Structure 1
Amino acid sequence: MKKVIAVVMSAVVIMGTMVGCGNSKSAGSTGEEKKAATNYNVAMVTDTGGVSDQSFNQSSWEGLQELSKKTGEKVSYLESKQETDYVTNLDKLADSENKLIWGIGFAMSDAILNAAKTNKDINYAIVDNSYGDKTPDNVTGVTFRAEEPSFIVGYIAGRTTKTNRVGFIGGIKSPVIDQFQYGYQAGVLYAAKELGRTINVDVQYAESFSDASKGKAIANKMFSAGCDIVFHAAGGTGVGLIDAAKEAGKFAIGVDRDQAYLAPDNVLTSALKLVNIAVEKVSEQAISGKKIGGTTYTYGLKEGAVGIPAENKNVKKEVYDAAMKLEDKIKDGSIVVPSDEKTYNEFNK
């Protein structure tokens, strides 16, 4: 799987030009398309982190760009600067002849549901949210077992720390971010037990996915308190952590994308959640005529949609190899990674 992820990540092209809230950016057909376009327009609305968040919004847009290259279909996005933009942006895209509209992030769950009820002839999909057995016929949920890569990076942090104190910065508290937090804590715990020592995990939430300055302030506090490695699940807020790690000479652990390019000497590794692959695959199915509504797709290690980068220059080889063995145990069910406080407490017994 690690080879597959390396190939996927190396193929991603990062956008050089972004747009503000209320302005759409589109990518049409190219000479590389594999089949003629069918005018099945696909669009997305970002959460407040924006399309250039170096995280899951950006990854989602990259997935749609790849979709456009393959199919020739027109893709576009609208950015949300604040939560009140969700409804407005969804309405704009509904009026623009889009047949599939994505909401990026669990914070858009209510807005997507209401838009779907109003526009029953349009398909909607949402990243990081499931409506369970109440999912409307024109809505698709996409979720990830984010606790799995978080466990792996937690294990690596536990095997790497020299101070026996590491940290976690969350964006906004939610069941989705719980997956990252408790998966990470479980991985640290697993490493600590393996090494026969105690490793403390400091946890703090920024209550934002877009405030890099707050992320940096929290990180600086953690580093000053003795943490030498801090993992984030905070979108654009986490960019502040990486800046702080670079200035302090400590390690940060990235999220969603391989964030090593932001600070090659100070990003230990990243917990990959390849939203781009999920967005591309589900959209392709919709374009092909498959019914995708009324259900939830879930992706994890088995599906090759989460993991860590194949290249981790700051991780010792023996630690990386041990982490890969743990991936295999998660895949075959030997290790069931906790995803919330309750399952973490059971794991910790």
Structure 2
Amino acid sequence: MKKYVRGLAIMGVLTLGVAACGSKPADNTPAAGGHTDFNACMVSDSGGFDDKSFNQTSYKGLQDAVKELGLTEKKAESKSDNDYPTNMNAMVAAKCNVIVPVGFKLADATEAAAKANPDIKFAIVDYNGFKAPIPNVKPLVFNTAQSSFLAGYLAAGTTKSGKVGTFGGAQIPTVTIFMDGFAEGVAYYNKTKTKNVQVVGWDTKTQKGLFTGDFESTAKGQQNAQNLVTQGADIIFPVAGPAGIGGLQAAKASGGKVNAIWVDTDGCVSAAEYCSVLLTSVFKGMDVAVSDAIKAAVDNKFSNEAYVGTLANNGTGLSPYHEWDSKIPAELKTEIDQLKKDLIDGKIKVESKVQP
């Protein structure tokens, strides 16, 4: 368990609204008539709220709830992993009624803050690994192995080189779950089609692969993507937050030789400048899950029961094909639709051990 750093020493500063090492908590007060006395708050991970992916989608959920219910919004953007305890303390000091920590990496700071402040509700995105349930903490998790399975099948059915690749930001379960599902989807395609499409960048058996080591460096993402391309991959699957943008840059620079599949949110919306190279995206309905958790807190219906987004409840899935809609064979689209049904019905099972 990480200890709160400089917590008590800076509380006087934090009460004034400054999150040391991170960013100043934003305070967007809505129009009169709503629950303006209810503070809905969020702490980002180091990727920041404009990461075109994970944090950005979660933040949209906060904004949606604030707008719909007339709440007061407060947020703290983390610049590095060291900011999490400090920014969490800032939100506690800001008298938040519900705090949404975004990401696996905020687990320790969330647990410490929740146990120290039982009257505050917490809804943590992408983590459900506490040793025991915490009464005021609701995990929001997503079985992206299912949707990534569909993405892997799509990639295998689209590649011209016979090789597809993936890389992650950090080797944590919320990243490798995508990579597992993707590789299993490719394997299923090979099995049903008697093909031999190869996956580079991740091995499901050894659980070893290619990682940038962080979620911020687009340069590292571009380097990793180029590594995959050098090995022959013509479709890449970056699972690295903002660092993954480097992968899209590499794809776009290839002049049509390399394309990609995005994660967390519809890349043609969040990173529209790269839509031409995106077959689709593996989305996570974090905005809806976050918004629903905040609404439950407002309505005094909040519970610590984990929310699990699946293909069945549309908590995860594939985004539209957008500019690739006419390029992907109708037969392949039909097969993917059927695979989705079979996964929901349990006729096909994804084996990833990090599924929620």
SS at match of 2:302: coil
Shift of 1:162: 0.8
Asked if 1:304 corresponds to 2:305, the answer is no
> 1-side partners of 2:129 and 2:259: how far apart?
37
> 1-side partners of 2:214 and 2:130: how far apart?
26
Change beyond 3 A, Cα 1:311–1:268: closer
> 1-side partners of 2:330 and 2:231: how far apart?
28
SS at match of 2:276: coil
- Aligned partner of 1:17 in structure 2 is none
Asked if 1:129 corresponds to 2:138, the answer is no
- Aligned partner of 2:246 in structure 1 is 240
Map 1:219-234 to 2 at 5 A. Answer: 219-234=225-240
> 1-side partners of 2:329 and 2:25: how far apart?
44
- Aligned partner of 2:332 in structure 1 is 319
Change beyond 3 A, Cα 1:158–1:311: closer
Code of the aligned partner of 1:220: Q
State the Cα deviation string for residues 56-78 of structure 1 (Å, max 9, x = none): 10001111111111100112211
- The answer (yes or no) to whether the contact 2:40–2:74 under 8 Å persists in 1 is yes
Total equivalences in the alignment: 319
Change beyond 3 A, Cα 1:160–1:135: same
Between stretches 78-87 and 128-137, larger displacement belongs to 128-137
Between stretches 316-325 and 234-243, larger displacement belongs to 316-325
- The answer (yes or no) to whether the contact 1:180–1:339 under 8 Å persists in 2 is no
- Aligned partner of 1:155 in structure 2 is 153
Asked if 1:332 corresponds to 2:345, the answer is yes
SS at match of 1:153: helix
- The answer (yes or no) to whether the contact 1:29–1:71 under 8 Å persists in 2 is no
Asked if 1:273 corresponds to 2:284, the answer is yes
- Aligned partner of 2:266 in structure 1 is 258
Between stretches 45-54 and 191-200, larger displacement belongs to 191-200
Change beyond 3 A, Cα 1:230–1:199: same
- Aligned partner of 1:140 in structure 2 is 138
State the Cα deviation string for residues 167-212 of structure 1 (Å, max 9, x = none): 0111111122221111000111111222211111111111111111
- Aligned partner of 2:59 in structure 1 is 61
State the Cα deviation string for residues 310-340 of structure 1 (Å, max 9, x = none): 3433233322221111111111111111223
> 1-side partners of 2:321 and 2:310: how far apart?
20
Shift of 1:133: 6.2
Code of the aligned partner of 1:253: I
Shift of 1:96: 0.7
SS at match of 2:322: coil
Code of the aligned partner of 2:148: S
Map 1:179-218 to 2 at 5 A. Answer: 179-203=177-201, 204-218=210-224
- The answer (yes or no) to whether the contact 2:144–2:177 under 8 Å persists in 1 is yes
State TM-score, norm by structure 1: 0.87
- Aligned partner of 1:27 in structure 2 is 28
Shift of 1:30: 4.6
Change beyond 3 A, Cα 1:302–1:132: farther
Shift of 1:94: 0.4
Code of the aligned partner of 2:223: A
Code of the aligned partner of 2:239: A
SS at match of 1:134: coil
State the Cα deviation string for residues 30-63 of structure 1 (Å, max 9, x = none): 58xxx73162211111001111100110001111
Change beyond 3 A, Cα 1:133–1:220: closer
For structure 1, which runs of at least 5 residues remain unmatched after alignment? 1-19, 344-349
> 2-side partners of 1:206 and 1:195: how far apart?
33
Change beyond 3 A, Cα 1:138–1:191: same
- The answer (yes or no) to whether the contact 1:41–1:73 under 8 Å persists in 2 is yes
The percent of aligned pairs where both chains have the same amino acid is 32
SS at match of 1:322: helix
For structure 2, which runs of at least 5 residues remain unmatched after alignment? 1-20, 202-209
> 1-side partners of 2:273 and 2:334: how far apart?
24
> 2-side partners of 1:195 and 1:186: how far apart?
14
> 2-side partners of 1:245 and 1:278: how far apart?
31
State the Cα deviation string for residues 290-319 of structure 1 (Å, max 9, x = none): 1323x3111111111111113433233322
> 2-side partners of 1:180 and 1:26: how far apart?
34
